[in-house]
Amino acid sequence: MGTEIERKFLVNDMTWKPSRKSLDVIQGYFPTNGFSLRVRVQDDRAFLTLKKSKSQISRHEFEYEIPADDARELIGLFCGSEVIEKTRHLVEYKGFTWEVDEFHGRNAGLVVAELELENEDQPFEKPSWIGAEVSQDSRYLNANLARCPYSTWKK
């Protein structure tokens, strides 16, 4: 069984740019209750992922690579409007790879940075462009952004 331990932060400014590696990502979410089932197309690769919360920053995670054409078809057939589009930038900082997601479409204007850790208490240093932590705010989970996009939030 896999476990994902992830901290999530808002991004204060764009001084992290440019990153050396960026990926175009489309994620579709299947209607579920109590867990997340998503299909992700990331450039020319695709994955089917199941997640279930263990704690506020840890989740059980099972991920399987699938053909990209199958993933696109699954998104079209089963995900409806529960889709997010983003560009993921991989930014190296003091021994860690930060995943900075610039959202598009219905979540345009939202930029978050995620950091995967080996354990919940693992220390790390935040870059200057990192803002408030939103790890415990469920609105920022990608599955919830697909259902209730950033553009619909009251500012």
More confidently predicted of 20 and 95? 95
Q: Which of 29, 64, 93, 140 is catalytic?
A: 29
In a 10 Å sphere around its CB, with 0-12 CB exposed, 13-18 middle and 19+ buried, how is residue 18 labelled?
Answer: exposed
CA distance 112 to 101: 5
Residue 29 among the catalytic residues:
yes
Closest to 58 in 3D by CA, of 125, 135, 145: 135
127 CB-near residues (< 8 Å, 6+ apart): 16, 91, 93, 94, 98
- The model's pLDDT over 84-106, given as tens digits with 9 standing for 90+, comes to 999 999 999 999 999 999 999 99
Q: Can you say whether the dihedral through the CA atoms of 86, 99, 1, 60 is positive or negative?
A: negative
| Residue 45 scores a pLDDT above 80 | yes
Mean pLDDT, residues 37-59: 94
